[in-house]
A and B are shown apart, each in its own frame.
Chain A
Amino acid sequence: MDNIFLWIAITLGAMVGLVSVVGIVSIYLERKISAFMQDRLGPMEVGFGSLVNAIAGKEVLREGRIGLAQSLADGLKLLQKEDIIPDGADKFLFKLAPMIVFAGTFSTFAALPLAEYFIPADVNIGLFYILAISSFGVSGILMAGWSSNNKWGLLGSLRSTAQMVSYEIPVGVSLVSIVMLTGTLSMKGIVVAQEGWFWNWHLFGAVGHHGLIGFVLLPMMVINFIAYFIGSLAETNRAPFDIPEAESELVAGYHTEYTGMRFAIFFLAEYGAIFVGNAIAVALFLGGWYSGIPAIDQANIPGIAPLVFILKTFVLIFVVMWIRWTLPRLRVDQLMTLCWKYLIPFTLFTFFSVAIYKVFIV
């Protein structure tokens, strides 16, 4: 009995740590990458040494900093900020909303297969669980938008919800293709199916397992991957699908009225959701914790598997940020056109192709 509680505590602690670290690192990367792409330098002053010195009240040296501790300093700043709740807001729901949003993201971390023996909860419906629980966050966004009693907030949350509900369809259908191919909903099972050389990854049609006939799958899987990637961008409200928080028209969307730590929690949830979205892409299409070269995987280097997984995820996160700082925002009707007229037909096509492949060829 004690063991169970201990296990729960350790798992929860590790997950909270992971979410926070992922959030902090992502925000730092976002700021640096956006700066570099706009010919700026980004945060340069707050290194870990200067942060410690500043807290201890010592002299802060300026040399040799690249702003590594900027996100941490920002977090400390947000913790100290005044917690403002608008007069007209619905106090209870206003306070509850960030928790719900964060819970929605946080719960999805439970089924992420960081390594073969490093999955917080290896349930046999892992993928389905992630898809289902992430829709829980949608209600939090609605709650935030409504309770802040702000027209921008409400509009942002309505847009966000409409977008997330629509894009769940192409995302779901593209994932179902993978599920059909592997015959399991368990995240671990799906990753294990891609063991070995990188051509066994689903992105490359799992050629190794299916032989030359697998090349038929390759274009399907590439389309699937792209559809999933676009869908996950939209589901996490990232540019170019960031109409829910479109700065130029809605101020900040559903978190317009939030300040201090509540705002930080929204931010953390957003970056956590980006991580999860890309982690699913890595697990399903890019071989999960396998590095793509069997020699490395079999060398039994401790900690290499989660490292490979997180590295792959951050490569995808880099692409997400790269897209954000390149492409302009889509209009609402363009967003829906992309979803219903392009993504859904294509994913349905790949879905049927994979079904035919599974039934008649394998």
Chain B
Amino acid sequence: MSYFGDIAKAVSTISTGMKITFAHFKNVGKNKGTFTTQYPKETLTAPAFSRQQLHNNIDDCIGCKKCAMACPVDCIDIVTVKAGADELSDCSDGTKRRLHLTVYDIDMAKCMFCGLCTYPCPTHCLTINDDHNFIKFERSELKYKFSAYSPEDVVRIEKEAAEREVIAKAEKAAKAKAKAEAAAKKKAAEVAKAKAEAEKVETAPEPEKTEPKAKTEPVAKTQVEQVVEVKKEEVKLPVAEAKENEAKAEEIKPTEDASKEANSDNETKES
């Protein structure tokens, strides 16, 4: 009879279901039992290549601002100050650094985790990693500051840069004046020998250009070392030193064509 058949079916199906749930109930203490991750105590690793948190290796950053331009939501904030000659160490891949990064902030509250900023980075110092554990209590805490300088450092660097600029301007003005005078003299003296003179003018700027590509240090220096070095160089900046470096640079010049390219790239950006 279907009436009692229904009852039998109900009993059997219910007992099957109850057995299943009880099996799960029993297994709870064992390893296979639970799927809960007790978050603060234990964390799961994010899948490989997942885009979670931006990290900038500031020692390798040349301050080119390409990442900031690539960012669709403008969450990267960069302020650079021109560094003096050889004030900064080179990047780990040999690229020359010329700018102090006084501000390098990434606002992870704004970030939309597209990862577009990491592609244009010439020195591959800006990376997006799988560290997803960056919970903060305040939104302002999500603004990650990567700059290696303390506020006092920033003040000092800016001051120095300003001083250098003043000196450079004065020098430039003097040079320009001298040049103008020289040109005037030349014009006045010998117009006919212009051919030979022109060659000389063309070759003249070349050593100046190669000058900044000084010593190549394969290992990036730590901040402390860097600061110390900056101070050291501050002390012995005079002309003799610079001449020494010039000689050095000329020695090394042929070996680093690649880095030169990158540098020239940066220069165009800066200008």
Q: Which of A's residues lie within 8 Å of B, judged by CB?
A: 33, 35-41, 44, 62, 322-323, 325-327, 342
The answer on a CB contact under 8 Å between A44 and B38 is: yes
Further pairs besides A37-B24, A326-B20: 4, Cβ < 8 Å: A41-B28, A44-B38, A323-B18, A326-B21
Residues in B whose Cβ lies below 8 Å from that of A40 = 34-36
Residues in A whose Cβ lies below 8 Å from that of B38 = 41, 44
Residues in A whose Cβ lies below 8 Å from that of B20 = 326
Q: How far apart are A231's CB and chain B's nearest CB, in angstroms?
A: 16
Residues in B whose Cβ lies below 8 Å from that of A38 = 24
Whose C-beta in chain A lies nearest to the C-beta of B16?
Answer: A326
With contacts A33-B25, A36-B24, A39-B35 taken as known, whether A326 is within 8 angstroms of B18 at the C-beta atoms is yes
Residues in A whose Cβ lies below 8 Å from that of B22 = 37, 322
Give Cα A38 to B24, complex, Å: 7
Whose C-beta in chain A lies nearest to the C-beta of B26?
Answer: A36
The answer on a CB contact under 8 Å between B28 and A36 is: yes
Q: Which of B's residues lie within 8 Å of A, judged by CB?
A: 7, 14, 17-18, 20-22, 24-25, 27-28, 33-36, 38, 40-41
In the assembled complex, 5 residue pairs joining A and B whose CB atoms fall closer than 8 Å, in A order, are A39-B34, A40-B36, A41-B28, A62-B41, A322-B21
Q: Which 8 A-B pairs have the closest CB atoms?
A: A36-B28, A41-B36, A326-B21, A37-B21, A326-B17, A36-B25, A40-B36, A37-B25
Q: How far apart are A124's CB and chain B's nearest CB, in angstroms?
A: 37
The answer on a CB contact under 8 Å between B17 and A39 is: no
Residues in B whose Cβ lies below 8 Å from that of A36 = 24-25, 28, 33
Give Cα A322 to B36, complex, Å: 20
Residues in A whose Cβ lies below 8 Å from that of B40 = 62
- Of residues A33, A37, A44, which shows the largest number of chain B Cβ atoms within 10 Å of its Cβ? A37
The answer on a CB contact under 8 Å between B41 and A41 is: no
Give Cα A250 to B172, complex, Å: 82
Give Cα A322 to B20, complex, Å: 11
Q: How far apart are A349's CB and chain B's nearest CB, in angstroms?
A: 13
Give Cα A40 to B18, complex, Å: 17
Residues in B whose Cβ lies below 8 Å from that of A323 = 18
The answer on a CB contact under 8 Å between B28 and A39 is: yes
Residues in A whose Cβ lies below 8 Å from that of B34 = 39-41
With contacts A36-B28, A41-B38, A44-B38 taken as known, whether A325 is within 8 angstroms of B33 at the C-beta atoms is no
The answer on a CB contact under 8 Å between B24 and A39 is: yes
- Of residues B20, B24, B33, B40, which shows the largest number of chain A Cβ atoms within 10 Å of its Cβ? B24
User: Within the complex, which residue of B7, B21, B25, B35 is in contact with A342, where a contact is CB–CB below 8 Å?
Assistant: B7
Residues in A whose Cβ lies below 8 Å from that of B24 = 36-39
Q: How far apart are B13's CB and chain A's nearest CB, in angstroms?
A: 9
The answer on a CB contact under 8 Å between B33 and A39 is: yes
Q: How far apart are A260's CB and chain B's nearest CB, in angstroms?
A: 27
Residues in B whose Cβ lies below 8 Å from that of A39 = 24, 27-28, 33-36
Q: How far apart are B38's CB and chain A's nearest CB, in angstroms?
A: 6
Q: How far apart are A281's CB and chain B's nearest CB, in angstroms?
A: 18
Whose C-beta in chain B lies nearest to the C-beta of A41?
Answer: B36
Whose C-beta in chain B lies nearest to the C-beta of A325?
Answer: B21
Give Cα A36 to B33, complex, Å: 8
Q: How far apart are A166's CB and chain B's nearest CB, in angstroms?
A: 19
Q: How far apart are B151's CB and chain A's nearest CB, in angstroms?
A: 33
Residues in A whose Cβ lies below 8 Å from that of B41 = 62
Whose C-beta in chain B lies nearest to the C-beta of A32?
Answer: B28
Give Cα A327 to B17, complex, Å: 7
Q: How far apart are B9's CB and chain A's nearest CB, in angstroms?
A: 12
Whose C-beta in chain B lies nearest to the C-beta of A63?
Answer: B41
Give Cα A322 to B40, complex, Å: 30
Give Cα A7 to B107, complex, Å: 68
Give Cα A179 to B20, complex, Å: 37
Give Cα A44 to B37, complex, Å: 11
Give Cα A62 to B7, complex, Å: 49
Q: How far apart are B31's CB and chain A's nearest CB, in angstroms?
A: 12
Whose C-beta in chain A lies nearest to the C-beta of B14?
Answer: A327
Q: How far apart are A317's CB and chain B's nearest CB, in angstroms?
A: 14
Residues in B whose Cβ lies below 8 Å from that of A44 = 38
Give Cα A35 to B28, complex, Å: 9
Residues in B whose Cβ lies below 8 Å from that of A342 = 7
Residues in A whose Cβ lies below 8 Å from that of B27 = 39
